[in-house]
């Protein structure tokens, strides 16, 4: 199995406080990896290292290596804009821009320099279909994206991330701000898409991780405790503490 992203001994500290104590983890192509763990364990922080969203935090220090397709993303030669085109991101709160649905999806494409109107139209439709939101938006493409429901907004954001054809999409608790119905819609969308894209998802919802992920990584207090195939880990975790967490004894 090909690894798209390889993290080697990633340590991160804010000033003198170390939040991640050396995490090594491989992410396989066209799989969905779930990062689970109690609140404050560093899973979101780790996720945001993968597209360098932590760069702007003051006094931050990141060591170790993160390779995206063999390239060190923290090397000075790395172009941030290029990296984020390859590694997209969807956040906990839906973040549609205050434009129409169409412009939301087309925005990244236009920035990427695509001018051909037909190609943009085609990509917009394709991305909305992929994110399973085409049916609800096709007659309302000119409507402001912020006027849709939370679940719809989140799928519009997924479509927006997919439109620029990334290799990897990072999902930071994509369903935790949504109601159960919207949440299951987003889950189904991810199930359909995970054969075409590599997803890395932070989630608090263990059932969700069990349902849709191929690989699961369990983090605690800034350490990677255990990682492996989801079925194996959920049925027979190697460590007692993983088993305790999965069984709801803490967290």
Partner 1 sequence: MKAKNTDKIATWVIYWLVAIVVLILAGILGNILWTGLPHLSWHFLTSEASSYQAGGGVRDQLFNSIYLLILTTIISFPIALGAAIYLSEYASDNWFTSLIRTTIEILSSLPSIVVGLFGYLLFVVQFGLGFSIISGALALTFFNLPILTSNMEQAINGVPQSQREAGLALGLSNWKTIRGIVLPAALPGILTGLILSAGRIFGEAAALIYTAGQSGSTVNYSNWNPFSPTSFLNVMRPAETLAVHIWKVNTEGIIPDATVVSAATSALLVIVVILFNLGARYLGNKLYQKLTAAKAK
Rule CB under 8 A: which residues touch partner 1?
51, 53, 58, 81-85, 88-89, 91, 93, 95, 97-100, 107-108, 111-112, 142-144, 146-147, 157, 160-161, 164
Residue 96, token pair as written in the block: 């549609």
Q: How many whole angstroms separate alpha carbon 63 and alpha carbon 161?
A: 28
Contact assessment for residue 196 and residue 13, using Cβ atoms and an 8 Å cutoff = no
Dihedral of the CA atoms 200, 204, 210, 211 (nearest 10)? -80
Q: Which residues have C-beta within 8 Å of that of residue 148, sequence separation ≥ 6?
A: 96, 101, 136, 137, 156
Nearer to partner 1, 107 or 134 (CB): 107
CB of 165 to partner 1, least distance (A): 11
Pairs from 69-78 (Cβ < 8 Å, separation ≥ 24): 69/4, 69/167
Distance CA 83, CA 88 (A): 9
User: Least CB distance from residue 221 to partner 1, whole Å?
Assistant: 25
- Closest CB 118 distance from partner 1, rounded Å: 22
Residue 51 Cβ vs partner 1, minimum distance, rounded to whole Å: 7
Nearer to partner 1, 95 or 223 (CB): 95
Contact 89, 169 (CB under 8 A): yes
Which residues, at least 6 apart from 109, have a Cβ–Cβ distance to it below 8 Å?
119, 120, 123, 124, 163, 164
CB of 82: closest distance to partner 1 in angstroms? Answer: 7
- DSSP β-ladder status, 215-220 and 32-36: parallel
Question: CA 238, CA 244: separation in Å to the nearest integer?
Answer: 11
Nearer to partner 1, 70 or 113 (CB): 113
Quote the least distance from Cβ 27 to partner 1, whole Å. 17
Phi, psi of 14 (to 5 degrees): -100, 110
Q: Across the strands, what pairs with 90?
A: 171
- Least CB distance from residue 81 to partner 1, whole Å? 5
Nearer to partner 1, 1 or 147 (CB): 147
């Amino acid at each position: 199995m090909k690894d798209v992203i390889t993290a080697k001994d990633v340590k991160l500290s804010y000033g003198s406080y170390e939040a991640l104590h050396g995490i090594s983890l491989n992410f396989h192509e066209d799989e969905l990896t779930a990062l689970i763990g109690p609140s404050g364990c560093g899973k979101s922080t780790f996720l945001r290292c993968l597209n360098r969203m932590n760069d702007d935090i003051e006094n931050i220090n990141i060591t170790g290596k993160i390779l995206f397709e063999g390239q060190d993303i923290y090397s000075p030669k790395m172009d941030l804009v290029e990296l984020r085109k390859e590694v997209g991101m969807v956040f906990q709160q839906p973040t549609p821009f205050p434009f129409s649905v169409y412009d939301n999806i087309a925005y990244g494409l236009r920035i990427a320099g695509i001018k051909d109107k037909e190609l943009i139209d085609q990509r917009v439709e394709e991305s909305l279909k992929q994110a399973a939101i085409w049916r609800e938006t096709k007659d309302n493409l000119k409507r402001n994206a912020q006027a849709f429901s939370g679940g719809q907004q989140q799928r519009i954001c997924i479509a927006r991330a997919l439109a620029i054809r990334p290799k990897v999409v990072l999902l930071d608790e994509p369903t935790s701000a949504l109601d159960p119905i919207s949440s299951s819609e987003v889950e189904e969308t991810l199930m359909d898409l995970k054969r075409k894209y590599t997803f890395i998802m932070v989630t608090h919802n263990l059932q969700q991780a069990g349902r849709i992920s191929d690989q699961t990584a369990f983090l605690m207090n800034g350490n990677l405790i255990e990682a492996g195939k989801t079925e194996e880990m959920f049925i027979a975790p190697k460590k007692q503490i993983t088993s305790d967490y999965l069984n709801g004894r803490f967290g």
